[in-house]
Structure 1
Amino acid sequence: MSVWVLYAGVVLIWGTTWYAIELQLGVVAPVISLLYRVALATVCLFLYALVTRSPLRLSWRNHLWVALQGVLLFSVNYWLIYLGSQYLTSGLVAVLFTMLVHLNLVNARIFFGQPVEPRIVVAATAGVLGVALLFLPEILAAAGDATVLRGAALVLGATFLASLGNMAALRNTSHGLPVVTVNAWGMGYGTISVAVVAGVTGARFDFDSTWSYVGSLLYLAIAGSALAFGLYLALIRRIGAARAAYTSVLIPAVALTVSTVLEGYRWTVPAVAGLLVLLAGNALALPRPARGRGGSATMRG
C-alpha cells in the first residue's frame, strides 16, 4: 500500500470521526462510550488476527512496550481530550492538537536521535497557522475565558501523551513487530486502562440503542480505531512519526467539509486562507516523489 493511500486513509477516516463523536454525546457518559469503542475495536482486531493467522505472541519486554503504546495512544489521551472538550470548542481542540507535529519532531530527536528537518518544521508551523485560521472565530470568542486555560492544559496534556504514544509505536514498528499484533494487544491494554478510569470515576454503564449512537459507535470502533490506527502505524513505519503526525493538521479541514454538508458550516475568507495554508504545509510535509528505475515514481524520506 502506497504512502499516499495510507495518508489519505488516515485523514479521511479521522476527519469524519469528529462528527461521529458528536453523535456519541448525550445519554452515555463519554468514558463509557470510549470504553465501548476500544473494547469493540479490540475484539475486531483479535478476530482479524486469527482469521489472517497473524502472529500474536510477544515477548514480555515487547508486551510492556505495546501496553505503553496502548495506554498512551489508544486510551488516556482520548480521555483527556474528552475532559478538555468540556471547556473548549472543537476548533480550539483541533488547534491545540496540531502541536503533535512539533512534539513528535522534538521527541523523535530526543529518544531516537532523528534529525529535525527544517522543511518539516516549516510545514508544521504552517499547519498550526492554517488550523488557527480555520477556527479563528472560535479562538476570538474564547479569548479572556478563564476556563479555556483549564481545557487547554488538558488537551495539551493529551497531545503530549499522544506524542509519547507515537514514540512507543515508532519503537515497536522499528523492531519489526507486526502492525496487527501491536494494535490488537495495544487496544486490549487500552481497554483495560479506560475500564480502570471508568471505575475510579464511578461512571454509570448506560447504553443508547438509537441508530445514530449504535451506528457512530460501530464506525468509531471499526474504522476510527481498528482500521485507522493500523494505517497510521504503517504510515509511521514508512515515513516516520513527524510526517505521519502531520495528518493531525489536515484532519480538521476534512471535518469542516463534513460539517459543511451535514451541519451547514459556512466558509469565511480566513477559513479558505487557512485551508490553502494547510495544503501548502501538507505538500512540504509529505515525502517528495522521486524517479526510480524505469521512470516509475517512488517515495523517499
Structure 2
Amino acid sequence: MNGLLYVLVVAIWGTTWIAIVMQQGVVSATVSIFWRFLLAALTMLILLGALRRLRKISLRDHAFCLIQGCCVFGLNFACFYHAASYISSGLESVIFSMAVLYNAINSMLFFRQRPHPNLLPAAALGITGIIALFWHQLIATQVAPSLLTGIGLSALGTFGFSLGNMISTRHQRRGLETLSTNTYAMLYGALVMAAISLFNGDRFMPEFSVRYLGSLLYLAIFGSVIAFGAYFTLVGRIGASQAAYSTLLFPLVALTLSTFYEGYVWHANAVLGLVLILLGNLVMFAKPGVFRRNQRGASSSTW
C-alpha cells in the first residue's frame, strides 16, 4: 500500500510543476490558487458527503485546519506560483525536495522527536547541492535579483508546506480523519486566497483557454484531491519525515519535463547539484551508522 501511495505522489506531483507554469498569464496567482483549491474542496465535499465519510470536528480543530490551509493550500502555493516567473519549474521542484530536511527539523521542534543521526550530513549535502545547481548563475558578474527571488520564494513555500505537514501530524495523532481535515483545510485555503485577491482588487474570471482550464482541472483533481490525499495518508502511516522521502524523485520528473517544455539547459554544475541533493535525501534515510560500518568493512578488506 505504501508503495502505491509513493508512486501516486511522485508521478502526479512530479508533473504538477509544469502545470503551474501553464497557469501563468492574465489571471493572478492568488485567483488561480483560489479556483484550484475551491474545485478540489468542492469535489471532496461531494465525494465524502455521498460516501458519508465527512467527519465533524471541533472548533479548535477547525482553527488548525485554517492554519493548515494557509500553509499547504494557500500561501505556500502563492510562493510557488510567483517563483515560476523567475526560475524554471524543474528548479522549483529541486528546492522543494528539501522538504525532507525541513520536516526532520520541524518534527524535532514541534514534537520533540530526536533528529535523525544523518540530519547534519544530509543537510550539508543538500545545501551544497543547491549552491552547485545555481552556480552557473551565481558566478555571473551580476547576480540577477530574479534568480534570488525565485530561490527565496521556493524555499519559503517549501517551509510552509513543512509546517502544514506538522499540523497534519497533529490531526492524525488526535485521531482525526485525513480526508476530512484535508477537505476543510483546502476550503479554508481557497477562502484565504479569495480574501487576498479581493484586497488586491483582482478579477476572479478564469482564462477560458484549453491550456489554462486543462491545467487547472489537473491541478485541482490530480494534484490536490488525489496527490494530497495520498501524501497525507503516508504522513499518517509512516510519519512526516519518512513521507517527505517521496520528494526525492520529484526533480527527476520535473526537470525532464522542464527540459522539453521550458528549454532548461543542463550544465555540469546542475548535474552535480542534482546528484548532491538527491544523495543528501538518500543519506537522510540511511540506517544510522551504515556509513561507519561500510568504512570499517572496507578497511578490513572484507569486500
TM-score range, shorter chain: 0.7 to 0.9
Separation in 2, partners of 1:280, 1:138: 22
Between 170-179 and 183-192, the greater mean CA deviation after superposition: 170-179
Matched, 1:237 2:221: no
1:91-170 alignment, distance < 5 Å = 93-130=92-129, 133=132, 136-138=135-137, 140=139, 144-170=143-169
Contact 1:24/1:216 (CA < 8 Å) preserved in 2? yes
> Equivalent residue of 1:204, what SS?
coil
Matched, 1:21 2:20: yes
Aligned-pair CA distance for 1:254: 1.0
Separation in 2, partners of 1:210, 1:154: 28
Between 145-154 and 28-37, the greater mean CA deviation after superposition: 145-154
Aligned-pair CA distance for 1:17: 0.6
Aligned-pair CA distance for 1:221: 0.3
Matched, 1:33 2:40: no
Counterpart code for 1:215: G
Aligned-pair CA distance for 1:219: 0.5
Taking structure 1 as the reference length, the TM-score comes to 0.82
Separation in 1, partners of 2:12, 2:96: 17
Coordinate RMSD, CA, aligned: 2.8
State the partner residue of 2:218. Answer: 219
Aligned-pair CA distance for 1:285: 4.3
Contact 2:259/2:265 (CA < 8 Å) preserved in 1? yes
> Equivalent residue of 1:169, what SS?
helix
Contact 2:172/2:236 (CA < 8 Å) preserved in 1? yes
Counterpart code for 1:197: I
> Equivalent residue of 2:74, what SS?
helix
After superposition, what is the alpha-carbon deviation per residue over 1:121-146, rounded to whole angstroms, capped at 9, x for unaligned?
44454445456555554555596234
State the partner residue of 1:258. Answer: 257
Counterpart code for 2:42: V
Q: Go from structure 1 to structure 2 and tell me whether the alpha carbon gap of 1:250 and 1:171 turns closer, same or farther (over 3 Å shift).
A: same
Separation in 2, partners of 1:120, 1:241: 15
Structure 1 unmatched runs, 5+: 289-301
Aligned-pair CA distance for 1:277: 4.1
Across the two proteins, how many residue pairs are aligned to each other? 287
Between 204-213 and 15-24, the greater mean CA deviation after superposition: 204-213
Q: Which has the larger radius of gyration?
A: 2
Between 100-109 and 116-125, the greater mean CA deviation after superposition: 116-125
Between 153-162 and 229-238, the greater mean CA deviation after superposition: 153-162
Counterpart code for 2:73: F
State the partner residue of 1:60. Answer: 59
Q: Go from structure 1 to structure 2 and tell me whether the alpha carbon gap of 1:146 and 1:275 turns closer, same or farther (over 3 Å shift).
A: closer
> Equivalent residue of 1:245, what SS?
helix
After superposition, what is the alpha-carbon deviation per residue over 1:244-300, rounded to whole angstroms, capped at 9, x for unaligned?
234344312210122345455555544444454455445444587xxxxxxxxxxxx
State the partner residue of 2:78. Answer: 79
Taking only the aligned residue pairs, the percentage that are identical comes to 40
Q: Go from structure 1 to structure 2 and tell me whether the alpha carbon gap of 1:207 and 1:22 turns closer, same or farther (over 3 Å shift).
A: same
Contact 1:80/1:155 (CA < 8 Å) preserved in 2? yes
Counterpart code for 2:82: L
State the partner residue of 1:299. Answer: none
Q: Go from structure 1 to structure 2 and tell me whether the alpha carbon gap of 1:287 and 1:195 turns closer, same or farther (over 3 Å shift).
A: farther
Contact 1:134/1:272 (CA < 8 Å) preserved in 2? yes
Separation in 2, partners of 1:264, 1:92: 12
Contact 1:23/1:213 (CA < 8 Å) preserved in 2? yes
Q: Go from structure 1 to structure 2 and tell me whether the alpha carbon gap of 1:267 and 1:147 turns closer, same or farther (over 3 Å shift).
A: closer
